Structure 1
Amino acid sequence: MNTHQRKRRDPTLPPGDGPPPAALTLDQVFAHTAHRHPNRVAVQDGWHRLTYAQAERQAVRLASALVLGGVQLGDPLVVRCENHRQALVAQLAVLKAGGVCVPALDGPGGTAAAARAAGARAVLCSRSTYDRAVRGAPSLALDDPATWRKIASVPVEKALPRSSAEGGAHLLLGHRGTDRLIDHRSWLRSAADRSRRAGVPGGTVAIDQEPVSPAALAAMWWAYSCGAMLHTAPWNPDPGWPLVGARDSVTVLTPEEYARHLDSGPPPGRRTAGAAEGPGTVVLIGGPCTRELVSRHFAARPGTRLWSEFAPTDGAVPWTAQELFARDGGRPHEPGAGSPVPPVRLRVAGAGGESLPRGAVGAIVAIGPPWWPEDVQSSGWRGCWTPDHTLDLTGPAARGPGRENRPTVPTGRPETEVT
């Protein structure tokens, strides 16, 4: 096998036309598609479209302005945009400049709170999401023509891109009381693993989340790692959105969102004349999927595959994954969380941090690969290993006053069930 063939089989790079040499970061993967397919749509947001080439050009200009403005490698920049088109350009620009994207916290004042918590160098926002409470960091509204008039005069920075595979891509704040730094390799590996499990998105990845939310980030980088389109809103108001579309499309939702869509959708077996069949696959990201939700899915969409990913700390990078079938809805116990997704390794730990045998219930903790910033992360859930090597969840872990009840981790190499 020659070197070119080995590169074409690299699972962390986009399939299809072949990867670019050493495409190891999110922005490099996106730039590769923009170069090969400039007119391909990257974001379909209602009637608005943004192509790969348009997003790439805007991101390069914005990144050059950020570098000229003093953004250093590893600097955090808060991103809070009103739509996914602006959010995509903002994230690409931050990554090209070598910075770290920090999604704003939810709720009023979330932008200022994120800027304070991260020590942000700047805030990339929209006019509608501009937060006057931000202090000590400039805010750039990406839908303000004045912003782009200023950027237009900035020469393109020759050092772009400054991102690196081992560098941080996103800093997720405040999820279960912890901060999580996710690097480029983790996003790309997660996307590649999802493609191997659930299949490469044929055309679109549909979502119904706010920009830069954990589930939206997972869906977005999955789509762009495959050169697909992120579909964020229908052309016309559609009560069935995002569970409509071609059979080669996929839909990414949290279990809670999917339950709400099934509540508001048409009754099982009844479709309006001319309605689209819907996605070929639904991927649930975040918490566990219940037996009731499995039964409702196959009653409403028996021909649609259902995958569940357990991503407890922030809902972005999965710890475990499994495909669910109609029979799982009729079992006497919940489907559980599935099997660990490499390179994440999981333990069920006792009160003293010791590894518990199969069948014993304890705290679920993850031991990440070497590039994870923390050696051990608590999931906030309790569970046990089943005889078939999958993880069963018994419920949320008890919390101590003001913090999670986290097990003590013993020194030395922890025992793991799956490597």
Structure 2
Amino acid sequence: MLHNKNILLGVSGGIAAYKACALASKLTQEGANVKVIMTESAVEFVSPLTFQSLSRNPVYIDTFDEKDPEKIAHIDLADWADLVLIAPATANIIGKISNGIADDMLSTTLLATQATIYIAPAMNVHMYAHPAVIQNMKRLEAWGCHFIEPGAGYLACGYVGKGRLEEPEAIIKTITEHQLNSSTLANKKVLISAGPTREQIDPVRFFTNRSSGKMGFALAETAAKLGAEVVLVTGPVSLEVSNSRIKRIDVTTSEEMYEAMHRYFTAQDIVIKAAAVADYRPKEVYDQKMKKHEGVWQIEMERTKDILQSLGEKKENQFLVGFAAETSDPIEYGMKKLTDKQLDAIVVNNVATEGAGFGGDTNIVTYISNSQEPKELAMASKQDIAQQIFQFIDRDMKDEK
């Protein structure tokens, strides 16, 4: 996976910089094209000549040292890289890129690159646990950076704990596996619906449900990371997308979601309806706010269009996946929907189970397809659940060929 890859290795100032020498050597042995940017602090630990010898390329340190007058070095490097690896990544460089600071060659290049960024932290155990460092790492992770966790053991400062730079072999293995997974949905088009719908009663009232959209958004982010071009049709939620490969379509009502899903459906390879769409809506919508009055207020409801059913009837080569949130007998109802709605797979869960309900960060689901036995997925983050779902989808799509 790394053969002929252009890898930009960023080395920041820590004692673990010596490990970056072995890392540069092993990446080169893997067939990668390696260029190194060092911070001024890193030069205090390792000579630039070492990296030049190992990578067989010039080493970059000073933003204003333009080696080729026809190119701006930090932009040229940013565009050249297929992936960027920062190892070791100190608390300082993590803080810089998290806050958009560009005051040296490495931080400036990182702001300019569109390549995948891997960050391998190395620092004192207490620094690694500091709230500022944790917050910075979470922000970078949300922006799409990938962290390679440090190992635990004896640190140069004398402490024993988590903070030592992961071994070069483990770093390369992690990157290789991620690159392999990232190509799972390469050249695939994926359509996903997420969140609730709102069905208006009058200008101030509406019917809705408890869906937060977190599962659908996790599926969209995961699909994009796996290489797909994603269209995300979402009801009203407070979530944001951070991946440029995701095209977001905001809708409000079930009718708007129906139209959006059908508009994009034909061109897709995979379609996942994870939205919690209203089954009923008020038959009459009032132009003015309904005032309080004596007695009961009865609202007559009418059925909305069954989006999943209509997609099942329309599908040709698309792999169609439904979601079913149940409160009893989820497997039985899920298998019935799988057949009735002409689906390729369905993901069911019991929302009454702790850890699997609306609004939470975790889920517990069962993946059911036409070709395999149901697969129960234990409680995990919705991101992890999304990753496993796409593994099953990939398997089933290969089985169909």
Q: TM-score, normalized by length of structure 1?
A: 0.29
Q: TM-score, normalized by length of structure 2?
A: 0.30
